[in-house]
Amino acid sequence: MTSASQKAFPVSWDQFHRDARALAWRLHEAGPFHTIVCITRGGLVPAAVIARELEIRVVESVGIASYHDYSNQGELKLIKDIAPSIRETKGKGVLVIDDLVDTGKTLALVHTFLPEAHYAAMYAKPQGRPLVNTFITEVSQDTWIYFPWDMGLTFQPPIREGAAG
């Protein structure tokens, strides 16, 4: 998870919801979209909020695993493909949503299926940022984002206490 070279960025449910609504505001101006394709599992929660805010009723998912042990990104594995009727559109009018674009490998794979889609993420790291059209917050490449569905309430040591030298 975190090492001396990684920074922690915990996101509460309240902050995540505010960020998802902010993303919806930006996407409203970029649309219209008739379909959302969320990248599971992280894209499910922002997709639900954005689907509500933009009144999009067609929500599809694509399952791609890249983090196999919650700390190291490995080889991409397509677990669930996109519905053929959506793939046939090449992404025209489709909004692809994920919680985070890290290295960009996952979104690069989806780009091969839906090259004309609009790509959005809640959070973006520098390596993956060129693969999204819209995002809310950029964090450094060495930041580990702790999403609310991955956390319980625990003590966080002060930044100075955990800082090296």
**Choosing from 14, 69, 99, 142, which is the catalytic residue?**
99
Which one of the listed residues 14, 102, 142, 150 is annotated catalytic?
102
DSSP string, 97-152: EEEEESSSHHHHHHHHH-TTSEEEEEEE-TTTGGG-SEEEEE--TTEEEE-GGG--
CA dihedral (79, 40, 143, 69) positive or negative? negative
Q: Known catalytic residue: 102?
A: yes
Task: Report residue 67 as tokens.
Answer: 């983090």
Q: Has 150 been annotated as catalytic?
A: no
For the question of residue 81 being annotated catalytic, the response is: no
Residue closest to 90 by CA, chosen among 107, 60, 110, 76 = 110
Catalytic residue numbers read 98-99, 102
